[in-house]
Homo-oligomer: A and B are copies of this chain.
C-alpha cells in the first residue's frame, strides 16, 4: 500500500528550512551527542539543545525527578555548561552533522538574555535561537518572564536586537491566557512561537512527609500534559500569524500529527526520548507512513487541516 515516491517532509519556520517537522525539545536531548548513538542526527528536523545560560549553572540539588501518572516532574534547574563552553566544546560536534541546530537560551535578567543571544548569534553552526521565558525573573521577584505579556515582549525584543537568526519564543503554560502572551511576543518580533514548556507540579513523599523533589516543585511533562498542550496550541494558532511549534507529551507519530493537523508547523519531542531513545526517528518514519498511506505528497498539505 506504500506509494513509491517518498512524501515531501520539509517545512519552513520562517526563514529556517527544516528537512522535516520533527525537532528535539530542549533539555531532553542533551547537546545531541547523548543520543547520537541511537539516532542518526542528520535525519532530524532540528536539534534544540539544552537551555544555555551566560555562566555555567550548577542546577538544583537532587532528587531532581519523579515519575507521575503518564508523565514526570523535573527540577533540573537548568544545569548547563554555559554558553561559552557550549560554543567551544559542543558546537564543533554538532557542526559535523547536516542538521539545523537551535540554541535554547535562558537568562535571569534581561541583560543575560542579551549577552547569551549575542554570543550565539556570532557562533557558527547555530541556526536559530529558542528563547525560554518560563524561568523566574530575578528582576521581578521570581515571577516568570513568560507570565507577563509586557516582560515577554521585552525579552523578545532584546534577543531580536542581538541576532539576525530566526528567534523562536517558547511559552510557559502556567498562565491564565497564553494567547495574550503569544500576541505580545509576535508583535515584539518573534519569528516563531513554540509551546508548551512544562506545567508546574509537585509530588509528595508520603512516607517521609517531604517533597519528592528537593526543589519542592518541578515541571510536569509527558503524555499527561498533551491535552493541555493541544488546547494551548489551538488557542495560539488562531491568534498569531507566525509559525507555531507544538510541544507536550508527543510519544508517537499520531500524537505529532494531531499537533500538525491543528496547525503547528513543526513539533518537538521531549520526554518521549527518555522512554524510547529512538522516538524522534520513529515519529518521523510514522509521519511518512501516514502520508504515504493516505496518498498525501507533501506534509504541508495536512498542516492546519483540522475542522473544529
Contacts and interface: CB of A to CB of B under 8 A. Distances in A.
A167 B211 CA distance: 31
B228 A199 contact: yes
Contacts of A262: 204
Contacts of A224: 68-71, 223-225, 227
A176 B147 contact: yes
B204 A230 contact: yes
A266 interface: no
Interface residues of A, number: 44
A68 B226 contact: yes
Contacts of A94: none
Given A206-B254, A223-B69, A305-B209, A200 B228 contact: yes
A231 B200 contact: yes
Number of this chain's copies in the assembly equals 2
A249 interface: yes
A217 interface: yes
Given A206-B257, A231-B201, A223 B70 contact: yes
Given A70-B71, A204-B261, A234-B202, A220 B210 contact: no
A212 to B, nearest CB: 10
A175 interface: yes
Contacts of A220: 227-228
B210 A307 contact: yes
B176 A202 contact: no
Interface in A184-229: 199-204, 206, 209-211, 216-217, 220, 222-228
A174 B179 CA distance: 13
A227 B68 contact: yes
Q: Binding site of A, secondary structure by majority: helix, strand, loop or mixed?
A: mixed
A97 interface: no
Contact of A69 (B147, B177, B226, B305): B226
Contacts of A176: 147, 174-176
A227 B203 contact: yes
A308 interface: yes
B306 A210 contact: yes
Contacts of A254: 206
Contacts of A261: 204, 206, 209
B249 A69 contact: yes
Nearest to A251: B69
Interface of A: 68-71, 73, 147, 174-177, 199-204, 206, 209-211, 216-217, 220, 222-228, 230-231, 234, 249, 254, 257-259, 261-262, 305-308
20 contacts: A70-B71, A71-B227, A73-B227, A147-B176, A147-B177, A175-B176, A176-B176, A200-B231, A201-B228, A201-B231, A203-B230, A204-B259, A204-B261, A206-B257, A209-B261, A209-B305, A209-B306, A210-B306, A216-B308, A224-B227
Query: 6 closest pairs, A vs B, by CB?
Result: A201-B227, A70-B70, A69-B223, A69-B70, A224-B224, A202-B231
